[in-house]
Structure 1
Amino acid sequence: YFYAYAARLGEEEEEEGVTLILLSTEREGFYAAAACRRQLEDALRAQGWMAELAAAGRGGAGYGPSRAGAPELRHFLYKPLEGPEEMQQLPQFTSPELEEPYTSEEEQHRLFDLYHYLHSRVHSPHRPLRLLYHVAEKETLLAWVTSKFELYSCFSPLVTKAGAIAVLTKLLRWLKKEEDWLFIRYPAPF
């Protein structure tokens, strides 16, 4: 059997909050779980992360593709492959919020199906690729894989390969500058 301890983190009067759920196989583990919750909440509060968690829960920590200063870019998925050892133990990626023309569920599925196609092509066991430029019916996509990152990107249908690479070079500079905000580089010990 599993026993669950669920508790709301933050102030009681806050309308929105974060719920912590701890699972245990110990039937009498309530007091240990409550102590763990208090310790975790104190650490999060001391680091100033409670507000960040609440904002993330409200969806306030997102960003749009234009934030990188590349208006030609419709969307991207970026996964760093190098960094501190602690970061490599937590595989992470970043992606902006989906905007027009990907606001409907159908269009979102279509975009992610295209990303899946790119991923399968660049990671093909028979002929792996480092760079793949693909012109689809409604957009142009570029997948770029190096030893340092994987990047899947989407542009308007008229973007050239050279234009897409120039935009992605600009995006990579922005990602490097903002990596402390976008990624958990050094997870806190608890």
Structure 2
Amino acid sequence: MTSSARVDGQPRHPGPATPLVADAPFPGTADAGLAWTMPSNSGRGAATFTVRGVGSAGGLVCEVAIDADFFALGRDTLGPIVPQLRLRLCQAVVDTEGLRALLADLRQWEVDRTPVRRQISPDQSSQSLIVELGVRDGVICTPEQPVFTVRYEGSLTRIEHGFVADQSCVVIAIESLARVVEESQTSRG
């Protein structure tokens, strides 16, 4: 959903009603709404993994949406909150066993704040998709407010984005990831 409206000859940014991920079905998708998300604790960012199809060997094809909003820049004073980053990996292959292990990792983090680092792409894949949750040098964070990082590497592409999360963000991720894991298990069995 994009807008072609212009203000003073410049493209107008989408409003706050713009969804983080496309609502339209992706070819071969049984349930376009099956997704899990990790929001930032500021409420101005999120990483959303939407299942777009089933790949080979039980892997899932996901759209990974990384979104961040910030104050309008380039002015004497800070303006309204506007989109800062909208990044889409349209066909990331995710291993269902990796998702199941990530769910267990996040549940363990709830108990004792054990840092999480999990590759969720298949081992033999030409791409690497890793998520992390933990304290990170150079960022104001704590074990209770860790950095959530998404790291993607392909043959010529390297992307890394992170933001600070907290316990409420992790609870949202656990609840939504549990639905994805359960649904992927149901569709395989």
TM-score of the two chains, using structure 2 as the length reference:
0.30
Which structure is larger by alpha-carbon Rg, 1 or 2? 1
**Higher helix content, 1 or 2:** 1
**Higher strand content, 1 or 2:** 2
TM-score of the two chains, using structure 1 as the length reference:
0.29
